[in-house]
Amino acid sequence: MKKIDQLIKNRKVIYALAALAAGILCAVAIFFIIFSNVNSISGFFEGVTRVLAPIIIALVLAYIIDPVAKFFETKVFVKLKKENLRRTLSAVIALILVLTLLTVFIGTLIPNLISSISMLMENADSYYATIEKVINQINSLGFGLHIDLSAIEASVRNWLGDFVNNLSTNLSSILSTTKNIGAVLLNILIGVILAVYILFSKKYLLSGLRRLRKAIFTPKQYESDTRFWNRCHDIFTQYIGCNIIDALIIGISNAIFMLILGMPYVPLVSFVVGVANLIPTFGPIIGGAIGALVLVLVKPSYALWFLIFTIGIQTLDAYVIKPRLFSSSIGLAPVWTLIAITVGGNLFGILGILLAIPVAAILTFIYDERFVPWLEKMSKARAAKAGEQISETDDAPRKTEDEASEVKQDA
């Protein structure tokens, strides 16, 4: 009890506890403000993203193209003596190669998608007859559902009518959309040009950042900071690269399966399944549901076989393909994955959903590798200081007794 009283009387301990309580209250207040003003914060970030769009596009392109440029610089043009010429040729050829592959991919995919959508619209009447037949069969089973097809048809027609009327009356919205598309294309063009300059100046930019970090940090802090950025790079490249490869595997496997069984809309369904597979957790469910919905209009047995294949390929993907691709885990618990997807989607939409997991993994890494060791260090320092103060207070009565005995002996 005496030690506890002495600790309570120690003002430094009280100040530390007060600071900790204030920090917790501030953190709670910040989280409350963020979650109660999600729309405002999302609008702010959208505005900032809109302004910085060309720079963001340039950085992303440079980040993607840099490994290809590095390959050409170190493997293909390694015999060139002039470093600037070697770097320039590597960057230009890498950029042309990546843009050519993207153009070929999009140019091949878009016509097939348009063809599939056109076929889907042309066969709408036969699909309507199929739906009507299925609904009549359900009503004849006697479950008491009594689905009114005419009411559904009237609702769909009313919705289409309102949609057409809105398109015809809201010309300003159409013009605004056209303007936005033009702005996006302009941002992409500026981003490509900036990406070239970033690749050309990569050595000088990194050298400047390195000198700045060495001027700010101690050698130990500099090494720790370098490890941190290397870990961030590993997380992003591993997650994004492996996810793209995984999506291609799933999409191509789905296309091969549909071609073998002679199913229609192969490009459309396979593209939807592959892109949806990029979305963590819910993506495969969304892709499978959309594909089955399209195929059930043509032939219900197609949808059944498609669902069976989807369940099988997703099981194989979860237990075989992804563990092979992701050789080391990014270290994120399932609950944090769901929270990251929810928050990222609400703040940044589709892009937030796609990048939520690597960003959350980096935040987890910061917490585990930086924040927790700092807390442990501070806790040990406080405990050591408190122990020294307690030992000093325990030794004080002994010193006074010794001094008193010495005085008596002198007397």
Give pLDDT, residue 310.
Answer: 92
- Residue indicated by tokens 């957790």: 281
- For the chain of 411 residues, list the mean pLDDT of each consecutive stretch of 10: 54 64 75 67 70 82 82 81 80 83 78 75 70 67 57 59 55 56 78 82 82 86 84 81 87 92 87 85 85 82 91 86 67 73 74 78 81 78 68 55 53 50
44's tokens: 């702010």
Within 13 Å and on the Cβ side, how many CA atoms surround 187? 17
- 296 contacts 264 by C-beta, under 8 angstroms: no
Return d(Cα 101, Cα 191) in angstroms, integer. 18
**Nearest C-alpha neighbor of 93 from the set 109, 105, 80, 106:** 80
Give pLDDT, residue 42.
Answer: 63
pTM score, whole prediction = 0.62
Give pLDDT, residue 164.
Answer: 53
